[in-house]
Each structure stands twice: as C-alpha cells, then as structure tokens.
Structure 1
C-alpha cells in the first residue's frame, strides 16, 4: 500500500469532508439558536456537497474504469460476465471494498443474478457452437 500525503487523502475524500463540514455548520447553527440553520442545511446538501462531488468525486473509480478500457490479455476475458469482471478486478486489488460494493449494487439494480447466469450460459453455448464449427 502506498503512503499518501494528507493533501492527497483530503482530495480523495473531498465529498465526505464537505458533508462533514456542512453537517457541523448547520448543527452548530441549530444548537446556538440561529434562525438560518435550515437554509444552511439545504444549501449545504443541495449545492455544496453535490458540487464537491462533481469537482473531486471518485478519482479512484475513474482510474479503475480506465482499467476496463485496456485490452484483455486473453480471449476468455472478453467472455466474462459483468459480475465475473467485477469479481476479478476486486480480487486483483483494482477496487476497494467500497467501490466493489457500490458497483455490485449498481450491477444488481440493472441485472438479477439469474439474468447474469442465463447470459453466461448463452455465451457458453455460443462458444461450444464456435468450437464445433472450427472442428469441421
């Protein structure tokens, strides 16, 4: 694991830091009896946090997505299901636990496990047909 400077860690966690700052700001305003605490809450979570996410969010995920663009080392990698590819990238250490869970949730929102298994079975049948065609 590489050591990262505090500035680099802050940049990587900018959205979380912005959320923490917004929460602290409006909570202090609420506890001290300021009337504008609700406005601070709304502006913070509707403007500041999303803007921070747009500017600094998920650079690790972008780098991991760039790994997908690289050509596969073997022809079997092209036949991987999205779930298999996700598992392989996690096992290779290209994804953190949080990135793996987030991508898995996104994948499962669009596909059920049965759909993934069905598409894998269809691909396997296509490979078998190709092998038969190559033999003749």
Structure 2
C-alpha cells in the first residue's frame, strides 16, 4: 500500500509539468531528426518557444508562491535567530523593556565588551578565578627592521 502522505501520480505530474513538456518536445524533434523527417526543426522551435513556456506559466505558478512563503518564513526565523545570537541586542532589549536598571545595564555592557574576543574572554575568565591578579598585558614590541634599510 502507498503512504497516504506521499503525493499522488497526478500531483507529481502537475509539479513536474514543465520538465515533462521539455522532455516530450526533445524526444519528438530528436526522433523526427533521426527518422529523416524535414519538420524536426519546426517541432523543436515551436516546442521550446511555445509549448514549454506555456506549460511553465500554467503549472509552475503555485511553486513560485510556495517559494515566496518559504523565503518569508526563513527570513523571520533568521531574524529571530540573529536576535537570540547577539548578546548586545538582547541586553539592549532587556534594558529598553525595563528588566535592567542603569547600573546593571552598565555592568553587563562592560563585561560584554571586555569579553568581545576569545583572548579577552580567556583573560576575563582567569580574572574571575583569581580576583587579586589583574590580567597580564603583553609588552609592546617594536617591529624588527632590516639593518640595511635604515
């Protein structure tokens, strides 16, 4: 028995109507060419200029509407994901909604900016373990220059 959720043969044929029309046109003019009929070129031109585009206009219209719906849904999901993934945006939203007072917002903003890069986050995590130790800063070094170019 067939799965009731799978599309019927008619549904699949309608969904692939343009491909079926193009294959039929190609088979017709190619067979005519191989059998030596003189009308193969007319069949090819008429098929690709009239039959295939008309079939596409008649049967593929629903697919375009579905594509737009899918794009709209994916855009909504991606914007929600971006908001969830961006801690600064979440922090601003919570502050704007009144969940955080000024001091808490400033404290969390400072912490967020201190841990903007992986190196900063590692230093910040080390500072939490040993509050007496300040994170070490690397001494600045001058770039080496070639003695010949001085």
TM-score normalised according to structure 2 size: 0.47
Q: CA deviation at 1:62?
A: 2.4
Give the equivalent residue in structure 1 for 2:129. Answer: none
Find 1:22's aligned residue among 22, 25, 41.
Answer: 25
Structure 1 residues 21 and 128: CA distance shift in structure 2, 3 A: same
For the residues of structure 2 that align with 1:74 and 1:44, how far apart are their CA atoms? 42
Taking CA–CA contacts closer than 8 Å with sequence separation of 6 or more, which of the two structures ends up with the larger relative contact order? 1
**TM-align CA RMSD:** 3.6
> Which structure 1 residue ranges, 5 or more long, are not aligned?
81-123
What displacement does 1:54 show? Answer: 1.1
* Greater radius of gyration (CA): 2
Change (3 A) 1:38 1:75: closer
Question: Which residue number in structure 1 is paired with residue 36 of structure 2?
Answer: 33
2:24 paired with 1:62: no
Query: TM-score, normalization: structure 1?
Result: 0.51
Q: 2:80 aligns with which of 76, 86, 91?
A: 76
1:87-106 Cα distance to aligned partner (Å, 9 max, x none): xxxxxxxxxxxxxxxxxxxx
1:53 matched to 2:56: yes
1:28 and 1:63, CA in 2 relative to 1: closer, same or farther beyond 3 A? Answer: same
* Mapping of residues 1-136 of structure 1, within 5 Å: 2-57=5-60, 59-69=62-72, 72=76, 76-77=80-81, 79=82, 127=89, 130=92, 134=96, 135=105
Equivalent-residue separation in structure 2 for 1:30 and 1:16 (angstroms): 21
Q: How many residues align?
A: 93
